């Protein structure tokens, strides 16, 4: 089984003052972008004598015999520090405890991750990978879970994961786990500028608190804008309305990032925003040709060292992770070094089709804070 894990862009992000539980309230319009990691999952069938061992392993907390991960990125951890492994082992452990699924006959799984979304860029590559793994394993292990159930389980591992079960475009509130799908923006493309800077999210939030920036976010969250009308705006009109409350603390930590944003805006004569806690910067365009022209100007005229520039489609075609996509032919048991990604035949501009519920709220105790 092969599944794409899309990047996300925070088109609009307002952040309130830190809550008593350590999290910050958020209001964010998030949209997937056409930059993908690829995960390939391979069943590892053991011999008939392995069934007893497999049954016993199902009751062992975080038993790694169920799942192994490898990757083309040599610096990327593949143990439980990686969300793919962490989510996979937690799912196997939960099913073993709760008796869900065919635990006595569940197949072991290996996965290979081709990493293309940069880390520390505010594009949620790790969260997307974790959500993709959860969806794929739920399919492989024959779990009849709805999207809200998958999103609730995923929310244990980070505030961004729930979005990926309701994308490609949604307004996220709470700490990010309350997801309300909306139409994709009319501005269909973005130019991504990816400097070789990794921004640690906890440090950005700490600086946000030190700078006492949350009051404006609290007011903005209480008075949500008309996102439905925003989806109909052309790129320049939309950019004029977008904000990111984490830009100031991120630029305070890495002033060169703020200087890069200022230079891009000055030379392109377009508004440039930051996604998430950084370091990725973006501007919006109405079509692919306009995006390519702007990207070419940045690459050819600005002579930016250590800045990767690319164009991406917003809300690209695909069903996200509500159901994993299967390869037609059976796998031969080998983990490929570079899986081939096939296009998904679905309209890129189709509005999201949520399940019966229009929003998903986590009811699971959260183990990771944004501090």
Cβ atoms of residues 189 and 288 within 8 Å: yes
Alpha carbons within 13 A on the beta-carbon side of 366: 22
The pairing of strands 169-173 and 178-181 is antiparallel
The sign of the torsion formed by the CA atoms of 182, 183, 184, 187 equals: negative
Joined together, the tokens standing for residue 256 give 């060169």
Which residues are marked as active site?
8, 160
Nearest Cα neighbor of 35 from 328, 298, 280 is 280
DSSP E strand boundaries for the chain: 2-15, 26-44, 67-71, 108-114, 169-173, 178-181, 189-195, 273-274, 281-285, 307-313
Cα separation of 285 and 295, whole Å? Answer: 11
Q: How far is CA 101 from CA 98, 137, 174, in A?
A: 9, 11, 31
Helix (H, G, I), strand (E, B) or coil at 267: helix
User: Longest C-alpha distance within the chain, in Å?
Assistant: 68
Sequence-ordered list of residues with C-beta below 8 angstroms from that of 351, at least 6 positions apart, any chain: 183, 184
Exposure of 76 by Cβ count < 10 A (0-12 exposed, 13-18 middle, 19+ buried)? Answer: middle
Nearest Cα neighbor of 41 from 295, 356, 321 is 321
């Amino acid at each position: 089984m092969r599944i794409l894990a899309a990047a996300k862009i925070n088109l609009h992000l307002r952040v309130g003052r830190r809550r008593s539980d350590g999290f910050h309230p958020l209001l964010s319009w998030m949209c997937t972008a056409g930059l993908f990691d690829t995960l390939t999952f391979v069943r590892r069938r053991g011999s008939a004598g392995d069934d007893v061992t497999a049954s016993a392993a199902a009751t062992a907390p975080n038993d790694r015999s169920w799942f192994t991960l490898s990757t083309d990125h040599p610096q990327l951890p593949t143990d439980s520090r990686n969300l793919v492994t962490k989510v996979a082992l937690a799912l196997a452990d939960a099913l073993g405890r709760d008796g869900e699924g065919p635990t006595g006959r569940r197949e072991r799984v290996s996965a290979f991750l081709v990493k293309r979304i940069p880390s520390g860029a505010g594009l949620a590559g790790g969260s997307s990978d974790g959500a993709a793994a959860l969806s794929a394993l739920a399919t492989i292990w024959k779990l009849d879970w709805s999207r809200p159930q998958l999103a609730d389980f995923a929310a244990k591992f980070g505030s961004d994961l729930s979005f990926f079960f309701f994308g490609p475009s949604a307004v996220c509130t709470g700490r990010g786990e309350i997801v309300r799908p909306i139409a994709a923006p009319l501005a269909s493309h973005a130019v991504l500028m990816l400097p070789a800077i990794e921004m640690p999210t906890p440090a950005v939030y700490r600086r946000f608190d030190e700078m006492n920036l949350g009051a404006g976010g609290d007011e903005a969250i209480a008075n949500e804008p008309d996102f439905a009308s925003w989806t109909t705006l052309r790129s320049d009109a939309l950019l004029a309305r977008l904000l990111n409350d984490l830009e100031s603390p991120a630029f305070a930590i890495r002033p060169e990032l703020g200087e890069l944003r200022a230079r891009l805006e000055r030379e392109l004569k377009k508004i440039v925003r930051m996604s998430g806690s950084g370091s990725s910067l973006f501007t919006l365009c109405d079509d692919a040709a306009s995006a390519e022209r702007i990207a070419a100007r940045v690459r050819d005229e600005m002579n930016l060292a250590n800045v990767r520039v690319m164009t991406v489609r917003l809300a690209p075609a695909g069903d996200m992770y509500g159901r994993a996509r299967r390869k037609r032919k059976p796998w031969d048991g080998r983990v490929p070094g570079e899986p081939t990604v096939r296009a998904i035949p679905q309209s890129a501009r189709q509005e999201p089709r949520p399940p019966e519920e229009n929003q998903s709220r986590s009811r699971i105790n959260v183990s990771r804070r944004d501090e």
